[in-house]
Amino acid sequence: MAEARIGWPTRVGAAVVGAAFLFGGIAGPSARADDKPDDLKEELLKLNRVTGDDAQRTKLIEFVKDKERAKKGVAEAVKMMKEAKGEKPFNFNAAMILGRAAHFLKEYDAGEYLYEYCVESATKLKSGGKMAQAYENLLDLYWDAKKYQAVIDLSEKVLDLKEPEEVRRAQIFVLERMIQAKVRAGQTDDALKQATLLADLPDDGWYFAPLKGWVLREAGKTEQAIQAYKDSIDKLDANKTLKAELRDEMKDRSRYILSGLYVEVKDIDKAAAQLQVLVKRHPDNPTYKNDLGFIWSDADKNLEESEKLIREALELDKKRQEKAKADGKIDEVKENAAYLDSLGWVLFKQKKYKEAVPYLKKAAADEEEGAHLEIWDHLADSYKAMGQLKEAVAAWEKGLKCEDLGPRDAERRRKVTAKLKEARAELRKGSKDKD
């Protein structure tokens, strides 16, 4: 399964937790049956003493390990805040940890309340850094909650601020966020107009060209989006003032997105060419190897080489996780569901159905990353190829319950619905024949 996605590059908020789960997740402890309200309150109040980014990140990860208990903690914290007469029980740092926890747990109302308090607290403290942090977290939460008009409204408020300096420096990111939110809110023409003006700026156009590409892609103008990302690479090459490291990083990002766009227009050779450049530049990056192997195998090309690349991706990812575990960043080494799906699919393409099924089952069983129609479709196709029609029907039915995550999912949903209808008809016919 190719992992290419075009989305907002979240810098803070729930992404802080997401980064900790990047290598496969953390298996948290079971809920404490002997929890008492006072014990929970005491634990929450201790968050006021957590200072420093690293310590706060560690505490946040620890706090959300047990999701159910974390939800109780967030609810209790909000209750304590609302019931407080006079001074609130939590300072900025504690409220930020709790807000991020709520965000990660998708307790959006609680997260909004806590982030808004962080904005208020940071403003009173006259701390520009904390204000920028709080605003960005709140924008990220609105985005994840699909409250796009709220993103626009808050962005306009932040863009109107003349000080402090830290907030002014963050306004370029806020501007991007606002334009993206306008697209999702149905204001695509306005968003494209703004993005185009920014991309055409003589000095800063190199920065905004990818944003124009994102808007065009969201608008369904894939060919124009491809051109925008190609323009982005050209503008980066032409900019001699950028540090080489930043230039290369941004070019890599555009190349990766281009690979996904070329897949969308079914130009696999051009998609592969972009990924081949990335694999050569970053031989230890598992994502590039997985994606190259997947798109080749999906197009029935270079199957042996594809299998080799995907197995290398799994091994590289395993080594990354093992290092993260040794460093105390994660508790568990877990195979990447997307890479497992890719391996299962390339085996399917080689007609090694029995070998493919275990990998695809493991990928689909991942509650977080396996909830994708494409994975379940691959599993169902493998079952059907083995003559296990009932299992195929069950897999397609489960897959259709997953949310669409990308532009190709709508088309896949139509195809899966047709395959499911045909398979059910075959089952009914087989049942009648037996009678």
Distance in angstroms (rounded) separating the CA atoms of residues 4 and 416: 21
pLDDT value of position 247: 95
pLDDT of 32 strictly over 60: no
Q: Which residue has the tokens 């568990």?
A: 332
First to last CA, the chain: 41
pLDDT value of position 273: 98
The string of pLDDT tens digits covering residues 375-398 is 999 999 999 999 999 999 999 999
pLDDT band at 36 (very low <50, low <70, confident <90, very high): low
* 125, 92 contact by CB (below 8 A): yes
Torsion from C-alpha of 140, 141, 143, 144, nearest 10 degrees = 110
pLDDT of 33 strictly over 60: no
pLDDT value of position 369: 87
Q: Which two tokens stand for residue 161?
A: 């601020």
The string of pLDDT tens digits covering residues 142-172 is 999 999 999 999 999 999 999 999 999 999 9
The string of pLDDT tens digits covering residues 207-260 is 999 999 999 999 999 999 999 999 999 999 999 899 999 999 999 999 999 999
pLDDT value of position 288: 98
In a 10 Å sphere around its CB, with 0-12 CB exposed, 13-18 middle and 19+ buried, how is residue 426 labelled?
middle
Distance in angstroms (rounded) separating the CA atoms of residues 287 and 316: 9
How far CA 278 is from CA of 160, 198, 287, 348, in Å, comes to 40, 27, 10, 26
Return the amino acid letter for 345. Answer: W
Sequence-distant contacts of 316-325: CB under 8 A, at least 24 apart: 316/284, 316/285, 316/286, 316/289, 317/23, 317/286, 320/23, 320/286, 321/23, 321/24, 324/23, 325/23
pLDDT of 136 strictly over 90: yes
Stretch 346-363: mean pLDDT, rounded?
Answer: 98
Distance in angstroms (rounded) separating the CA atoms of residues 357 and 355: 6
pLDDT of 418 strictly over 90: yes
Stretch 335-364: mean pLDDT, rounded?
Answer: 97
Least trusted range by pLDDT, from 117-126, 362-371, 405-414 = 405-414
How far CA 299 is from CA of 262, 266, 269, 283, in Å, comes to 13, 9, 10, 23
Sequence-distant contacts of 409-412: CB under 8 A, at least 24 apart: 409/373, 409/374, 412/373, 412/374, 412/377
Return the amino acid letter for 427. Answer: L
pLDDT value of position 24: 35
Domain residue limits, the chain: 9-186
The string of pLDDT tens digits covering residues 84-114 is 988 999 999 999 999 999 999 999 999 999 9
CATH number of the domain located at residue range(s) 9-186 in this protein:
1.25.40
- Average pLDDT value over all residues in the chain: 90
